[in-house]
Amino acid sequence: MSRQPEVLWAQRSEKIYLTISLPDAKDVTLKCEGDGVFNFCAVGVQGDSFTFTLQLYGNISPERCKTNVGLRNILCSIQKEQKGWWPRLLKSEEKPAPYLKVDWNKWCDEDDEESSDSDDDVEYTGEDDESSDDGGMLYLPDLEKARGN
């Protein structure tokens, strides 16, 4: 039986950001479809299968979507087909699943977007996103790496 990892989301007028919290994920498979279907599948550190499918509110440009698989999470930048603010993440008006939460660290209001365009183009370099909600604390493997061990 598969489970769902915690998924944090935020939006800009041109993009949706998804942060999938799944440390040490293996066999990560992501598929973005133009009609707004987002599929995720991965194996967790203890061999558990994690899958979910999201029917996003609007259409997306699959060829312009970017992904970064890090040590603690998987970051996805999903390009909207048309620029504009969605009233919600999912097409369905029902209450979203409990594993889906707003990423307040990346959230930007429509009015504030023009003043915060500097972080709109997040570059995915293969390193973990340091803006996670851990308050900038280093985990033991990161601390050892910083010390040169």
- Angle at the Cα of 37 (from 20 to 48), degrees rounded to 5? 40
CATH of domain 5-83+96-100: 2.60.40.790
What pLDDT was estimated at residue 136? 47
DSSP 89-124: SBSS-SPPPTTEEE-TTT---TTTGGGGGGGTS---
Q: What is the mean pLDDT of each run of 10 residues along the chain (149 residues)?
A: 91 96 95 97 95 97 96 96 96 94 88 59 46 47 56
What pLDDT was estimated at residue 112? 74
Phi–psi pair at 69, nearest 5 degrees: -95, 110
